[in-house]
Amino acid sequence: SKSNPKALNIEELLYSATLTKDAAEQESIYNKATQFFPNDSRAYNNLGLLSYKKGDLSQAENYFKKAASIQNAAEPNMNLGLIALNDGDLAAAESYLGKATSCEEYGEAYGTLLVRQGKYAQAINAFGGKKCNNLAVAQICSAKYSDAKATLEGVAKKNAATSYLLA
């Protein structure tokens, strides 16, 4: 993708970005993809993910909105729902997540929204057994303490919040 990116089709260009762990190089590849294939939403969505990981939520939101304007696909809507959830705009989060039901991560995102709405029993069901801190919060708020402990012990990527909830 470096020597002659114009010779690649969109699939090859997007794939080439997965071959590096360097975020700056990925960003460069995705920017080329948006130049050469402006009607494909995936590069914009991926640029949004890179911005999100850098903590630039405003830029991420702009990229996700651009992606959604090209193709109202599940992934940019999921990401816009997560941004809205982060901003505390639960109505917008619910609207965006409603368009993202086919995403693999939908259950966890929707479960988190339900926790924020205080719908703990529904949240527990939405998580579908995905062991995460937010499931444990829903279980604790539902007085299912042993379930919460088992959930927290099963969290794959434990962080400070995991330890705090276990304490």
State residue 1's pLDDT score. 55
- Per-residue 3-state assignment (H helix, E strand, C coil) for the chain: CCCCHHHCCHHHHHHHHCCCCCHHHHHHHHHHHHHHCCCCHHHHHHHHHHHHHHCCHHHHHHHHHHHHHHCCCHHHHHHHHHHHHHHCCHHHHHHHHCCCCCCCCHHHHHHHHHHHCCCHHHHHHHHCCCCCHHHHHHHHHCCCHHHHHHHHHCCCCCCHHHHHHHC
Read off the pLDDT of residues 25-35 as tens digits, 9 standing for 90 and up: 999 999 999 99
| pTM of the model as a whole | 0.85
Ranges of residues in the chain whose predicted pLDDT is under 70: 1-3
pLDDT in tens, 109-142: 999 999 999 999 999 999 988 999 999 999 999 9
